[in-house]
Amino acid sequence: MILEAERVSKSFGGLKAVSDVSLQLEKGELSSIIGPNGAGKSTFFNLLSGKFRPDSGRILFKGEDITGLAPHKICRKGTSKSFQRQNIFPRLSAFDNIQIAVLSEQKRIRNIVSPAKNQCRGETNQVLERVGLADKQNRLAGYLSYGDQKRLEIGIALATRPRLLLLDEPTAGMSPEETVSITHLIQKLAREQALTLLFVEHDMSVVFGISEKIRVMHLGRIIAEGNPEEIQANEEVQRVYLGETT
C-alpha cells in the first residue's frame, strides 16, 4: 500500500468532521472521494496532506508513519496536493511558477543576480510540455485562462516529483470543454508518470470517468467503497448523495 489511514478522526469544537475513517490506497490506483457538502471530504484531505493533525488514528505513506508531519515534510516524502483554489503566483510567468517548484524540489535557491532562467531549464520545460503549457510559458500566470491556471497548478505539483498526487476539486468552476480537457490530462499524467491519484470531486462524469475505485463519505464516515458500477448500484449512496443530484 502506498497510503494508509487507520481510524483517523478530527473534530472542531463539538463538530466531528472526520470520524474513525480508514483507507488503503494501492500503488498506481486512480481513486476518488465523493459525498455531499459537509461530508468531511476536505477535512480528510487536509489530514492526509498534513494541513490538519488528526485527533486520533494514524496515517502511513509507503509504510512510514507521517501522522502530524508538516505539509512540506510530507511533500518531500513523495506526495503532492493540488488545491481547489489556484495556488499560483499570478504576477510571474508560467515558466517561473514551474521553475520555482523545480528548484524547491531540488533544494536549490534561485540566484537573482546570475541568469536565473538557466537554472533547471530543462526540467522546467519538461513539466510545461507535460501539462500542455509549453507554448504559453512566457505568459503571466494571472492572465492564463482558468483551465490553463489549473494545468499550471497541476504542473507545480508534478514538479515536486510526487508518487502520490492529491487533487482537491480539480474541475471546480470549469466550463464543460475545460472539464473534458483537464480530465484527459489527469488520466494521461497518471498513466505516463506512474502516479497514484486520489481526488475529491463533485462532477460525477469526472468521477465515474476516471476512478478505478470510489469512496463515499457521509457525516464524517466512509459509508461505501467500490468500483464505479458498485457505487452506482449502492442504495445507501443513492439515498445520501447520488439521489440528491438526480
Number of other CB atoms surrounding residue 46 within 10 Å? 19
- From first to last of the 246 residues of the chain, give the pLDDT tens digit: 999 999 999 999 889 999 999 999 999 999 999 998 889 999 999 999 999 999 999 999 999 999 999 998 998 899 988 765 567 899 999 999 999 988 887 765 555 444 555 678 899 999 999 999 999 999 999 999 989 999 999 999 898 889 999 998 888 888 999 999 999 999 999 888 889 999 999 898 999 999 999 999 999 999 999 999 999 999 999 888 655 543
User: Which amino acid, residue 95?
Assistant: F
Question: What string of H, E and C letters represents the secondary structure of 77-129?
Answer: CCEEEECCCCCCCCCCEHHHHHHHHHHHHCCCCCCCCCCHHHCCHHHHHHHHH
Rg (the chain; Cα; Å) = 18
pLDDT at 21: 97
* Domain 1-78+164-246: homologous superfamily in CATH: P-loop containing nucleotide triphosphate hydrolases (3.40.50.300)
Q: How far apart are the first and last CA of the chain?
A: 35
94-105 vs 146-158: helix axis angle to the nearest 10? 20
Domain positions in the chain: 1-78+164-246, 86-161
pLDDT at 160: 86
State the Cα–Cα distance between residues 246 and 233, nearest whole angstrom.
14
Sign of CA dihedral 13, 14, 18, 21: positive
